[in-house]
Amino acid sequence: MVLIGSLWGDRRQRQTKYILSAAAIAGLEVDLAPFEFGVTNKSPEFVNKFPLAKIPTFEGVDGFTLLEGASIARYVASLAPESKLLGNSIKDAALVDQWIHFAEHEINAYTDLVWQLVDRFFQEKAYSESIHKTVFERQERSLKFLEQNLSLREFLVTDEITLADIILAGVIQRAARVTLGAAERALYPNVFAHYARVAGDPRIKDIFGAADFVEVPVAPKKDE
Ligand SMILES: N[C@@H](CCC(=O)N[C@@H](CS)C(=O)NCC(=O)O)C(=O)O
């Protein structure tokens, strides 16, 4: 395998899973740098290179630097066109991008918002049941749309795994650990069959790890 660069990230993070999975399918090696959250990404050396101080970040063997998990994964995929991770044509690549943006912004953004609400991340540990409900309903609308699409095909863009499928699986794994308990998951059989197909692919199974889904959606923390 050809070494393409170093990655700073956490294996439990969905974005790091996107990048490692893309590299595994593309047959490229990415060196996962030693990393301690809150320490490595705050070090002067890291901040000097990546001033936003977030992970994941990437530095190629040629010194090219990149942040944003989906963009790093897309770059890795583009280095191996024969992997077909971006499909077979310019239109396929546009559809891969469409589904990546959809997964991140129309599904994952709501998971993150619900997580921040229930974890009482906001000032004064504010929690609002009505905001929680509204955000969850926005996610439901996206999931219904996705369910319909996945009732027609095994993978999102072509007849094999593309980067869109990998990123969607990362987003769904996270949603099923926060907003989607067993009862909610039962409403989306095609979405979860797709998840099992992608996360169970022998090339990336170990990167995705155990599902660790919740039985019921995560409830708001008590306000101490
Ligand atoms: N939009 C970025 C988000 C990255 C991100 O928020 N990473 C978190 C860890 S999951 C982080 O580094 N947080 C550190 C901080 O906020 O200072 C991506 O998708 O890569």
CATH number at residue 143: 1.20.1050.10
pTM (predicted TM-score): 0.98
* Ranges of residues in the chain whose predicted pLDDT is under 50: none
Mutual orientation of helices 129-150 and 189-199 as an angle, nearest 10°?
70
Residue from 54, 57, 74 whose mutation best tests the ligand 1 pocket (most atoms within 8 A of CB): 54
148 and 197 share one domain? yes
**Ligand 1 pocket at CB < 6 A:** 13, 15, 41, 53-56, 68-69
Give the number of C-alpha atoms closer than 13 A to the C-alpha of residue 193, restricted to the C-beta side.
Answer: 15
| Contact call for residues 161 and 16 (beta carbons, < 8 A) | no
Nearest CA to ligand 1 atom 16: 54
Q: Which atom of ligand 1 is nearest to the CA of 42?
A: 17
Domain ends where: 83, 117, 143? 83
68 and 104 share one domain? no
Helix (H, G, I), strand (E, B) or coil at 32: strand
Number of domains, the chain: 2
What pLDDT was estimated at residue 32?
97
What pLDDT was estimated at residue 111?
98
Query: From the CA of 102, how far away is ligand 1's center (Å)?
Result: 18
11 and 116 share one domain? no
Outline where 176-212 has alpha helix (H): 182-185, 189-199, 205-208
What pLDDT was estimated at residue 223?
80
What does the pLDDT look like over 80-116, one tens digit per residue? 999 999 999 999 999 999 999 999 999 999 999 999 9
222 domain residue, yes or no: no
Q: Which atom of ligand 1 is nearest to the CA of 68?
A: 20
215 domain residue, yes or no: no
Query: From the CA of 55, how far away is ligand 1's center (Å)?
Result: 5
94 and 203 share one domain? yes
Query: From the CA of 57, how far away is ligand 1's center (Å)?
Result: 10
143 domain residue, yes or no: yes
34 and 108 share one domain? no
Owning domain of residue 197: 90-208
Distance of CA 107 to the CA centre of its chain: 10
223 domain residue, yes or no: no
Which residue is listed with tokens 């990167």?
Answer: 207
Which residue is listed with tokens 């609002």?
Answer: 128
CA distances from 206 to 149, 173, 184, 198, 211 (A): 27, 14, 26, 12, 11
204 and 96 share one domain? yes
Query: From the CA of 153, how far away is ligand 1's center (Å)?
Result: 32
| Contact call for residues 96 and 125 (beta carbons, < 8 A) | no
Nearest CA to ligand 1 atom 3: 68
67 and 105 share one domain? no
189 and 126 share one domain? yes
97 and 59 share one domain? no
